[in-house]
Amino acid sequence: MSCGENPWHESGPLTPRPGPETWDRPEMREALGRHDIDTVYRLLQSDGYTRADIGRWAKPPQPEVSAVIKGRQVTVYDVLVRIADDLGIPREYMSLSPYPDPEHDQ
């Protein structure tokens, strides 16, 4: 495996990230507003997305996604921004600054 390669990468076509209709659902908006990433991941799974899909989009180590799904809270601002940006979630839905962070976006 090359440096920086995602260990969840599977051969085959990449599943497209969820569209705006996913993020605009009331239960999703509520979870996003609470920074309840566990529920966000579970809602994505109920829509048919897999942990592997989430891992390919967000690029976290597999144990991190599993830990969040098992209830670990995500509270660090930079991690929330990364999740929002990587999954295509409008930052405003999570009460995050809509402006790119130069350190994050390098």
Task: Report the alpha-carbon distance of residue 26 to residue 61 in Å, rounded.
Answer: 29
DSSP one-letter code for 9: -
Contact 85, 17 (CB under 8 A): no
Task: Output the CA–CA distances (angstroms, integers) from residue 2 to 5, 54, 77, in the order listed.
Answer: 5, 20, 29
Unique residue bearing structure tokens 């996003």: 32
Task: Report the alpha-carbon distance of residue 76 to residue 27 in Å, rounded.
Answer: 22
Rounded to an integer, the average pLDDT of 7-12 is 46
CB atoms within 10 A of CB 8: 19
CB atoms within 10 A of CB 23: 19
Q: Summarize pLDDT for 87-98 with one digit per residue, the tens.
A: 999 999 999 987
The reported pLDDT for the residue numbered 70 is 78
Q: Summarize pLDDT for 22-74 with one digit per residue, the tens.
A: 999 999 999 999 999 989 999 999 999 988 888 888 776 667 777 777 777 78
Q: Domain map of the chain by residue range?
A: 20-94
Stated pTM of the model: 0.73
Check whether 17 has a pLDDT greater than 80.
Answer: yes
